[in-house]
């Protein structure tokens, strides 16, 4: 892969350490546990995480697949991946690997399950990404998506404001900035969710974090 990527110069390349602090905060951790639970993993499974970032989900994925399973994280931002690699090395997980690559053309083979948290909103064609990921897991495999968007609850207005600021700070490229980055993110999420719901069975959906975070999952039919 070429060294230059669309994420060069973005928040994810410049502030991976700061991102990791937020990504591993106690409230956020509980969303990650729920997202991993939604995959119905078993010991020995192979699970891929697209846009794994600093590897904040890896401990929970690793716990579910055990020492016999495999966890593969994919991300485009070198700075984020370095944090994920350091986390893996510190813990001594030999069955975890992190790979630099584009989640829309995944550099991985088949898996039992696939996770993407706070990622689909960044992908221009989120429908196609979900369809590609469903092919990675194949029949019987499970896909779970977690994403943030504005909460409809009146009490969550301050949280909505924080989210708007974060998305504006983190959104890559000027193309996205022409419209509201948060609206673009929500539209991409809507399309990803729709693709997951139309192509899978055994759906589950939850709203977490005062309605700010959505978790959807489904299984590819046998
Ligand atoms: C908001 S962060 C989420 C990171 C992690 N999933 C988490 O839950 O903390 C979005 C991540 O997606 C990655 N990303 C964005 N577009 C990508 C792409 N096309 N391929 C791979 N990774 C991508 C970014 O580098 C960043 O690490």
**In-domain check, residue 134:** yes
Give 117 Cα–ligand 1 centroid separation in angstroms: 8
What is the pLDDT at residue 1? Answer: 44
104-107 long-range contacts (CB < 8 A, ≥24 apart) are: 104/128, 104/129, 104/132, 105/132, 106/48, 106/50, 106/74, 106/132, 106/133, 106/136, 107/74
**In-domain check, residue 5:** no
Give 58 Cα–ligand 1 centroid separation in angstroms: 14
The CATH number covering residue 63 comes to 3.40.50.150
pLDDT, tens digit, 9 for 90 and up, residues 183-211: 999 999 999 999 999 999 999 999 999 99
Pick the closest to residue 121 from 91, 146, 89, 151 (CA basis). Answer: 146
The parent domain of residue 203 ranges over 11-219
Pick the closest to residue 98 from 110, 121, 82 (CA basis). Answer: 82
For ligand 1, is residue 215 a contact (CB within 6 Å)? no
Question: What's the N-to-C CA distance of the chain in angstroms?
Answer: 34
pLDDT, tens digit, 9 for 90 and up, residues 117-158: 999 999 999 999 999 999 999 899 999 999 999 999 999 999
pTM for the structure as a whole: 0.94
Give 220 Cα–ligand 1 centroid separation in angstroms: 23
Domains: count for the chain:
1
What is the pLDDT at residue 177? Answer: 55
**In-domain check, residue 119:** yes
The Cα–Cα gap between 83 and 75 comes to 11
Average model confidence (pLDDT) for the chain?
A: 93
- Residue given tokens 């069955």 in the structure block: 95
pLDDT, tens digit, 9 for 90 and up, residues 70-108: 999 999 999 999 999 999 999 999 999 999 999 999 988
What is the pLDDT at residue 169? Answer: 85
């Amino acid at each position: 892969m070429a060294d230059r990527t669309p994420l060069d110069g973005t928040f994810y390349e410049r502030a991976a350490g700061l991102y990791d602090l937020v990504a591993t905060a106690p409230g956020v951790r509980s969303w990650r546990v729920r997202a991993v639970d939604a995959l119905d993993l078993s010991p020995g499974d192979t699970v891929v995480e697209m846009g794994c970032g600093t590897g904040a989900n890896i401990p929970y994925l690793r716990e579910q697949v055990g020492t016999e399973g495999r966890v593969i994280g994919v991300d485009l931002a070198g700075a984020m991946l370095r944090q994920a690699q350091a986390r893996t090395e510190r813990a001594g997980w030999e069955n975890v690997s992190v790979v630099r690559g584009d989640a829309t053309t995944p550099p991985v083979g088949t898996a039992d399950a696939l996770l993407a948290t706070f990622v689909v909103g960044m992908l221009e064609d989120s429908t196609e990404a979900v369809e590609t990921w469903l092919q990675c897991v194949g029949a019987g495999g499970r896909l779970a998506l977690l994403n943030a968007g504005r909460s409809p609850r009146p009490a969550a207005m301050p949280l909505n404001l924080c989210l708007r600021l974060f998305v504006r700070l983190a959104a890559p490229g000027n193309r996205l900035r022409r419209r509201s980055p948060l609206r673009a993110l929500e539209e991409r999420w809507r399309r990803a969710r729709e693709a997951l719901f139309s192509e899978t069975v055994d759906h589950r959906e939850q709203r977490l974090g005062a309605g700010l975070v959505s978790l959807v999952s489904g299984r590819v039919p046998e």
